Structure 1
Amino acid sequence: MAEVGRPDSADRAQRPYRGVQAGERLARRRQQLIDAGMDLLGQTDPDDLTVRAICTKAGLTARYFYEAFADKDAFIEAVFDAATAKLATTTQAAVTGVPAADQNRAGITSIVRTIAEDPRIGRLLFSTELSNAVILRMRAQRAELFVNLGDLHIQTALRVGGSNRLKATTNFVLGGLRQTISAWLSGEVVMSSEEFIDLLIAIVDDLNDPSLFRE
């Protein structure tokens, strides 16, 4: 029991330190760990990654790791979500306000340039070399989200209604896009970023015919 008038460790943890509130300190440490995870998961098989290695990279102790994450799986999920959020944010910004006819180019250009500038994101989201169960599960979950977003985009851009043909096409395009990006990142497909962008756009632009999606 803490002495009367003397704060225990929990009380001290909640107090401002050098003007920084406890919640902000927690958020900063969590971000340090996620940044470390982006580096490590971009180079190391997640199954071989240890909490000690994560903490060493982040410059923090294990205490702070478990303050932010229940376990390593929760940590990998958070890093994956951070990578997804960055790609989604940059892509959304690229297509916002762009005429419908130019949205494919804007979106694909943003995706390719983002992962070219930060290969860690490309590895986490697209590389077929990763077989970690958490990452595969997260990819499957996010794939469903992106298929739904793709459906809405096509319906809006081409003024068509939802259909099984549309759903099938969106799954086909996004699945092929993931596989092709993985091949490009691994060096199996050798092209400059601009050549790769032009090829992907040429393929996707062939799907701009509204009649393809009417049943």
Structure 2
Amino acid sequence: MSSPTRWAGVPLTDRRIERRALLINAAFALFGEGGEGAVSVRSVCRESALNTRYFYESFGDTDELLGAVYDKVADEMNAEVQAAIQAVIDAVGGTDVDRMRAGVRAVLGFSSADPRRGRVLFTEARANPVLTARRQIAQETLQQMVRSQREHAHPGDDSTATLVAAAMFTGAMAELAQQWLSGALGADLDAVVDHAVRFVLLTS
């Protein structure tokens, strides 16, 4: 466990920030390998080499910690998706299809590059109520983004049609990610992305 001299000379605020990050990283590693059952106050403190009192300095319980893990991974994925879309825009201007392809590929690629990420964002999120709530917020954010893009591309469309399209796309992306992570769709990421984009175009 951490020794008193470990934080010598480090301002209190910085100590807390660093300890919180260590706990989140430890929980991510444990959760990503063994699921929710692998995460306890004791296991997280052991993994992070921190005393138990430091856990309660940042989190009330393990559910709160798991919520922080989800937020961290979701923020990292969103940043990667936005960077991928922006790269396409910077390179070729980026049509709606180009941006869609870049976004879908970034989501699937990010999730499978480290399977623990996919477990946090998609697989285990179905079972844990805290992660389910976080996932619902993430889906609502994605739906809003899809609605905005669709309204910009099809300003004359019926509002109900836009809402239905956004809801279907959001649900399909979550299921697509889970199937990709399970290996059910094979190993060719480019082929999966191409088929996904083609399907969206056919139903839009």
TM-score by length of 1: 0.80
Higher helix proportion, which one? 2
Aligned twin of 1:55? 45
Aligned twin of 2:115? 119
CA distance in 2, matches of 1:162, 1:95: 27
Change over 3 Å in CA distance of 1:91–1:157 after alignment to 2: farther
Aligned twin of 1:148? 144
**Are positions 1:17 and 2:8 aligned together?**
yes
Cα offset, 1:47, TM superposition: 4.2
SS in 1 for 2:34: coil
Q: Which amino acid aligns with 1:65?
A: F
CA distance in 2, matches of 1:128, 1:49: 13
CA distance in 1, matches of 2:82, 2:125: 27
Aligned twin of 2:86? 96
CA distance in 1, matches of 2:71, 2:136: 13
Change over 3 Å in CA distance of 1:164–1:128 after alignment to 2: farther
How many residue pairs were aligned?
193
Q: Which amino acid aligns with 1:64?
A: Y
**Are positions 1:205 and 2:198 aligned together?**
no
TM-score by length of 2: 0.84
Q: Which amino acid aligns with 1:115?
A: S
CA distance in 2, matches of 1:207, 1:62: 52
Identity of aligned residues (%): 26
Cα offset, 1:162, TM superposition: 7.1
SS in 2 for 1:166: helix
SS in 1 for 2:33: coil
Query: Which of 92, 106, 109 is residue 110 of structure 1 equivalent to?
Result: 106
Change over 3 Å in CA distance of 1:71–1:25 after alignment to 2: same
Change over 3 Å in CA distance of 1:173–1:88 after alignment to 2: same
Aligned twin of 1:33? 23
The answer to whether the 8 Å contact 2:27/2:39 transfers is no
Change over 3 Å in CA distance of 1:94–1:45 after alignment to 2: same
The answer to whether the 8 Å contact 1:76/1:135 transfers is yes
- Runs of 5+ consecutive residues of structure 1 not aligned to the other structure: 1-12, 209-215
Change over 3 Å in CA distance of 1:23–1:104 after alignment to 2: same
CA distance in 2, matches of 1:130, 1:37: 18
CA distance in 1, matches of 2:164, 2:85: 23
Query: Which of 124, 128, 132 is residue 136 of structure 1 equivalent to?
Result: 132
CA distance in 2, matches of 1:30, 1:152: 35
Cα offset, 1:161, TM superposition: 6.0
Cα offset, 1:158, TM superposition: 4.2
Q: Which amino acid aligns with 1:191?
A: A
CA distance in 2, matches of 1:165, 1:69: 42
CA distance in 1, matches of 2:23, 2:134: 19
SS in 2 for 1:127: helix
Deviations 1:173-215 (A, max 9, x none): 110121121122112332322222222222223355xxxxxxx
